[in-house]
A and B are shown apart, each in its own frame.
Chain A
């Protein structure tokens, strides 16, 4: 479980995250949604320590990450997996080497065990046919799947995904969504996804938080979002004509 308490962050006097409080439960797909520039990525970076918040705290199963020293932070980070928006795969390594890297770095597995684990992770994301290809030789969807395989290779307790289906076709997008959902349930991970995609919110969002101008203005289940009354959230959810029509039908 991840608890966020009174989190604040500003840049050059401009408040980006304003007193955000929330809890992300284990074994659930938690989603953070909001318009572009609403502070979603900054919020996620504050959570994982890539940006130091001005005040507030982030607790990983009761361990305060924000006040931890560098060594403690490193230990908590080894329990995290993150899927970056563009994949952030290591260019000089093949798909299999990318997935193997965290195992080489932090596990005491034998070479055979590592190979087996890499194979298992790549099977999970249905990518066994691309093990020897370099990131520059694979498609956007395959990069995302490789990033997911790398993120789960060390059995993380916490999984963070920054817009995992941006730039993907609808079919691949659904595939990625289902993959993240299945992995979350199978390994009882605390998953936090940042997304714009309303389809993902409806399909896999077990808890959704709406960030508006850096504030947490609404929280609830994915399917409850259509009934939400916050004007900014309604504007966000029903921005497309299709969503408006679907809402009118139902």
Chain B
């Protein structure tokens, strides 16, 4: 028992080391290609300082609340149709592929429901949806803040004595963190419905088998794991995109570049944090 624990600890420690080296290497490669003036550590420092300033106490809570509601509406409600359609088709395709590949009587039919549920909760509704939202929400945040920067609207806020980062960035991060778990839960429900409709509707798996499969060995911890990932991804997407947009320098061309960078770095951050959270929570 002791030996197996030691082996697991050693394995986990090395995985962290390997993951860190890979993530650092990839980030460094991208940052040095795109940003000639600042190195990776300068970027991280600047990002952390921006977050510190962004989480300062807002000047006026009534305006902050209004901004928060606007952000929740734009990010959450605005993303619902896209999330719904993607989840429905994703769930349908996963279960069809599973059902089509199980052609041996040794594997029971309820495995389709079980595998579809597990993959939807573990990865598809959390990570895949986060990757899609990194494209939609991330580019929108970066281009909005970038445009405000180049048209001097952020300077105008600063001159008025408004903490522009707290006023603009904090509601985006908090709003996304609050709404993303709901988006992901809706995605899970629609995904499982898509899976059910595609295999039960076509008669590949029976209704009872599918329902038994999706209920089999269900643990609340799986949902906790998914929600932790969801919150971390929401924070990474909104904060990285805000950083890229807030520090846009130049003209409209730079706004486009900032938007692209926001999506690319958000995707990297999602993939790296997914690995780390999975090792921390499932091993």
Contacts and interface: CB of A to CB of B under 8 A. Distances in A.
A84 B160 contact: no
Interface string B184-202: 0000000000000000000
Interface string A156-198: 0000100000000000000000000000000000000000000
A77 B155 contact: no
Contacts of B162: 105
A88 B154 CA distance: 8
Contacts of A160: 159
Nearest to B160: A102
B152 interface: yes
A85 B151 CA distance: 10
B161 A84 contact: no
A106 B161 contact: yes
The binding surface of chain A is classed by DSSP as mixed
Interface string A103-146: 01110000000000000000000000000000000000000000
A243 interface: no
A156 to B, nearest CB: 10
B156 interface: yes
Interface string A41-56: 0000000111000000
Contacts of B155: 50, 84, 88
Contacts of B60: 104-106
A48 B159 contact: yes
Contacts of B63: 104-105
A126 B153 CA distance: 23
A74 B166 CA distance: 13
A74 B53 CA distance: 13
B59 interface: yes
Contacts of B123: none
B158 interface: yes
Nearest to B66: A104
A74 B159 contact: no
Contact of A78 (B62, B152, B161): B161
A242 interface: no
Contacts of B156: 82, 84, 88-90
Interface string A35-79: 000000000000011100000000000000000000000111110
Given A49-B158, A75-B161, A77-B158, 12 more contacts: A50-B158, A74-B163, A77-B159, A78-B160, A81-B159, A82-B156, A89-B156, A90-B153, A91-B147, A104-B60, A105-B63, A105-B160
The 7 closest A-B pairs by CB, nearest first: A77-B161, A78-B161, A88-B152, A88-B156, A82-B159, A74-B161, A84-B152
